[in-house]
Amino acid sequence: MSETTILDEHEETLSELKALFTEAGFGAPEVFGCAPGRVNVIGEHIDYNGGLVLPAAIDRWVRVAMSRRSDGKVRLISAQSTDAMVEFSVSVDLAPEGKSWGNYVKGVVAGLLKEGIEVPGFDAVVNSTVPVGGGLSSSAALEAVFGKMILTLIGVEMEDIALAKLCQKAEHDFAGVPCGLMDQAAVILCEEGKLLMLDCVDDSFQHASFDDPDWGLLIINSCVSHELSDGGYAARRDACHEAARILGVDTLREVDPAKLEEVLQTPGLTEEMRRYVRHVVTEIARTLETVKVLSERDYKRAGELLNASHASLRDDYRVSCVELDFIAALAQKQEGVAGCRMTGGGFGGSAIALVRRDCVDTLTALIEERYRAEFGIEPKIFETRPMGGARAWMA
């Protein structure tokens, strides 16, 4: 995408950012950047098990304006946070503090320093439309945009996949979430009109077109907040790795789906591990098949696979919740919906539906009404198409 297009696309939001930057007393911005949220079409909880995942960047953005400081200090303001300004000094001794959103930025600065990159101090203002706690990777977007912008500010190049790994490490060390690579890779590597096929066995990737004018992706945010750092995520990750050890494989990717029932009888696997292994092995197979059927525009089969993924996450992996189960069950029954499943880490957050675009309005109204009646919560529903990944440019 040319710079003119970037500027056109973000023109209104850029003037808003500039105004926020000046209001904060930061002067004139030198660099702008944006990074999208992401939604995972299928391949859930398999990135840390060597699986193939299929995310897309969505039309919700973290936008940032930045300028360099000469005293090594970092000052951060977010238009979405009621916290006062976050401040710290660039140093090799950076450590996370409390639950501040500034930890994600600190983690990225720390990672760049570890790479031997001389990070200067900077002022930055963040303005975001990626819902926090919606399972749409607001944190990965924040990490990615700061990574891209700092590198642009100092004119240093880094390969996208290397930056994604650096951001993943920031999430591990500064947010306490032992995540896989999917979110950071998606918000950096995605291309417009395409799904990202990230093969987590070796972090190789390709892009697959998803640009049928008649079919779209509907995101249904349950507005129930999830908390990945509270242990549920890490416990599953650990159990999967322990199961792989017991089965004598490097990752669960190596388990042959045709031999699954036999493998599940292996002594030493707990009942819980058997459920997790079943989810992971079947989900990897579902994802591979989804890639194939989507390329053939066989939405009926793709929808069946999405529905099966939800059932597996609900019953075997147990990362869904009543709100997401309600949304998935309701959406799956509606005209024009090929399939619907929870997406992302789970324990709340969002569901994704593969929908015929002419049914979106009716479907949205129906889900809003029924969900509100059942839980007294207003869901946030929006259609999205696959977007390009994070970028930064000089003002």
| Burial call 210-249: b when 16+ CB within 10 Å, e when fewer | beeeebbbbbbbbbbebebeeebbeebbebbeebbeebee
Q: What is the closest distance, in whole angstroms, from the C-beta atom of residue 385 to ligand GLA in the complex?
A: 21
Least distance in angstroms from the C-beta of 182 to ligand GLA: 4
Report, in Å, the least distance between residue 361 CB and ligand GLA: 29
Using CB under 6 A, which of the segments 38-46, 241-249, 354-362, 378-386 binds ligand GLA? 38-46
Indicate whether 344 belongs to the interface with ligand GLA (CB under 6 A): yes
Q: Which of 10, 45, 60, 194 binds ligand GLA (CB under 6 A)?
A: 45
47, 123, 173, 183: which one is catalytic? 183
134 binds ligand GLA (CB under 6 A): no
Residue from the set 44, 143, 304, 323 that interacts with ligand GLA by CB under 6 A: 44
Q: Which is nearer to ligand GLA, 232 or 336 (CB)?
A: 232
Of the candidates 33, 37, 50, 345, which one interacts with ligand GLA according to CB under 6 A? 345
Cβ closest to ligand GLA, residue 29 vs residue 386: 386
For residue 212, CA distances in Å to 21, 288, 304, 315 come to 39, 20, 19, 32
User: Which of 179, 360 has the CB closer to ligand GLA?
Assistant: 179
Q: Is 47 in the site for ligand GLA (CB under 6 A)?
A: yes
Considering only 40-48, 281-289, 330-338, 386-394, which stretch makes contact with ligand GLA by CB under 6 A?
A: 40-48
Question: Under the criterion CB under 6 A, does residue 351 sit at the interface with ligand GLA?
Answer: no
Q: Between 105 and 181, whose beta carbon lies closer to ligand GLA? A: 181
Residues 163-182 that bind ligand GLA (CB under 6 A): 179-180, 182
Query: In the annotation, is 183 catalytic?
Result: yes
> Please, what is the minimum distance in Å from the beta carbon of residue 293 to ligand GLA?
20
**107 is a contact residue toward ligand GLA (CB under 6 A):** no
Residues 183-212 that bind ligand GLA (CB under 6 A): 183
Please give the size of the binding site for ligand GLA, defined by CB under 6 A: 11
Q: Would you state the torsion angle of the CA atoms of residues 29, 35, 37, 38, taken in this order, to the nearest 10 degrees?
A: 180
Can residue 283 be called a binding residue for ligand GLA (CB under 6 A)? no
123 binds ligand GLA (CB under 6 A): no
Closest to ligand GLA by CB, 77 vs 305, is: 305
Contact 377/133 with Cβ under 8 angstroms?
no
Question: Near ligand GLA by CB under 6 A, which window of 41-49, 73-81, 101-109, 212-220?
Answer: 41-49
> Could you tell me the smallest distance in angstroms from the CB atom of residue 292 to ligand GLA?
20
Q: Point out the residues that are catalytic.
A: 183
Binding site residues, ligand GLA, CB under 6 A: 40, 44-45, 47-48, 179-180, 182-183, 344-345
